[in-house]
């Protein structure tokens, strides 16, 4: 996520950012100040887009302590605010919580294995192996894909979010497959816009427990962060819209009942495919976070692979598409199933 400006010292890895609402910052009188929450955060987190600011709010990471005019010396308690349109007044306090996985140290180049499928002056397309973390976070200060990419292409350091340079989308730690990094600011802006407009083609293959009733289906269910387990996501009426299409490619009945699915993202929420498939009773095989680890097959990671990635090339304006073959561990499980 990267909450920090480029000139901030990231080594301290704070767990929250506190911002006071002051009329002087807006050239207004205290009694006249009224500003939307998303506009307020956009001003003080100016390196982030409005959409990403609203995402912070929708994910429950922003809290507000308003000032009650009748009790200026005894303000209300701090409370999570999910409305980007919430109006703020002089004297209020806004707190942005930084989840543990996003409390980032300084991102340094570090040589490592990097499977480059395509590279030009605008983009770097890589094939991420399962088990490789995309960017540094809590418990993963070294050996990430971004650090390897920085060693390969040092110019990434100044592109996009300083906490995850060049990154325009992510793959989970246990997910393998295709990832594109931007090498220039204009390429970064173009790719971020394409992901935001949902025009990027993202197709996955997943091995799931059980057999879906229909050969083709759509999971249309909002996803939000779990209140009880903040590192997990869950289907929630208060979450953000999320849609995953799937098609059954093959059904296996022995030694266990599983199915191979082709999945296509229509939105891009955290853990989306894993959460959606679990929600319909068919968790990804090996996914211990969402009910997919059952003591058999035991692949050691969720069998989810980002197989196809297509977008409009930022430099040429032409559509490009890349494909990644299933990795060895995924193929081995399929061979065991016959």
Active site residues: 172
Give the dihedral sign, CA 219/220/226/231: positive
Q: Is 31 exposed, middle or buried (0-12, 13-18, 19+ CB in 10 A)?
A: exposed
> Could you write out the three-class secondary structure of 174-236?
CCEEEEEEECCHHHHHHHHHHHHHCCCEEEEEEEEECCCCCCEEEEECCEEECCCCCCCEEEC
Dihedral sign from CA coordinates of 287, 288, 291, 293 = positive
CA distances from 49 to 2, 43, 52, 174, 331 (A): 12, 10, 5, 28, 40
- Residue 231 contacts residue 221 (beta carbons within 8 Å): no
SS3 261: strand
C-alpha separations of 64 from 13, 89, 93, 141, 152 in Å: 22, 11, 6, 31, 42
Query: Nearest-CA neighbor of 233 among 199, 205, 203, 275?
Result: 275
CA triplet 24, 27, 31: central angle to 5 degrees? 70
CA-closest candidate to residue 10, choices 164, 132, 118:
164
Cβ(111)–Cβ(87) below 8 Å: no
Q: Contact, 176 vs 306, CB < 8 A?
A: yes
- DSSP SS3 for 284: strand
**215 vs 230: CA distance, rounded Å:** 33
Distance (Å, whole) CA 77 – CA 44: 22
């Amino acid at each position: 996520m990267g909450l920090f400006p480029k000139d901030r010292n990231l080594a301290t890895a704070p767990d929250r950012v506190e911002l006071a609402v002051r009329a002087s910052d807006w050239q207004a009188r205290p009694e006249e100040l009224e500003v939307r929450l998303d506009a307020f955060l956009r001003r003080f987190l100016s390196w982030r887009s409005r959409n990403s600011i609203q995402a912070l709010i929708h994910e429950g990471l922003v809290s507000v302590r308003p000032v009650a005019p009748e009790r200026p010396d005894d303000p209300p308690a701090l409370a999570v605010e999910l409305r980007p349109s919430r109006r703020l007044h002089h004297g209020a306090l806004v707190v942005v919580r930084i989840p543990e996985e996003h409390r980032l140290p300084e991102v340094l180049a570090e040589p490592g294995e990097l499977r480059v499928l395509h590279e030009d002056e605008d983009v770097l397309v890589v094939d991420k192996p399962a088990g490789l973390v995309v960017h540094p976070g809590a418990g993963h200060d070294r050996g990430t894909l971004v650090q390897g990419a920085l060693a390969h292409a040092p110019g990434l350091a100044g592109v996009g979010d300083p906490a995850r340079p060049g990154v325009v989308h992510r793959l989970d730690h246990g997910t393998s497959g295709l990832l594109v990094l931007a090498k220039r600011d204009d390429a970064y802006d173009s790719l971020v816009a394409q992901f935001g407009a949902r025009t990027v083609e993202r197709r996955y293959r997943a091995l799931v427990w059980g057999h879906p009733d229909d050969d083709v289906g759509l999971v249309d269910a909002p996803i939000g962060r779990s209140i009880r387990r903040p590192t997990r996501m869950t289907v929630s009426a208060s979450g953000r819209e999320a849609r995953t299409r799937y098609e059954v490619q093959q059904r296996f009945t022995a030694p266990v009942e599983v199915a191979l699915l082709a999945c296509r993202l229509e939105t891009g929420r955290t853990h989306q495919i894993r959460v959606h498939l679990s929600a319909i009773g068919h968790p990804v095989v090996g996914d211990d976070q969402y009910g997919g680890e059952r003591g058999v097959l035991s692949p050691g990671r969720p069998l989810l692979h980002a197989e196809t990635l297509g977008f409009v090339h930022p430099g040429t304006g032409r559509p490009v598409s890349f494909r990644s073959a299933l990795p060895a561990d995924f193929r081995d499980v399929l061979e065991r199933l016959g």
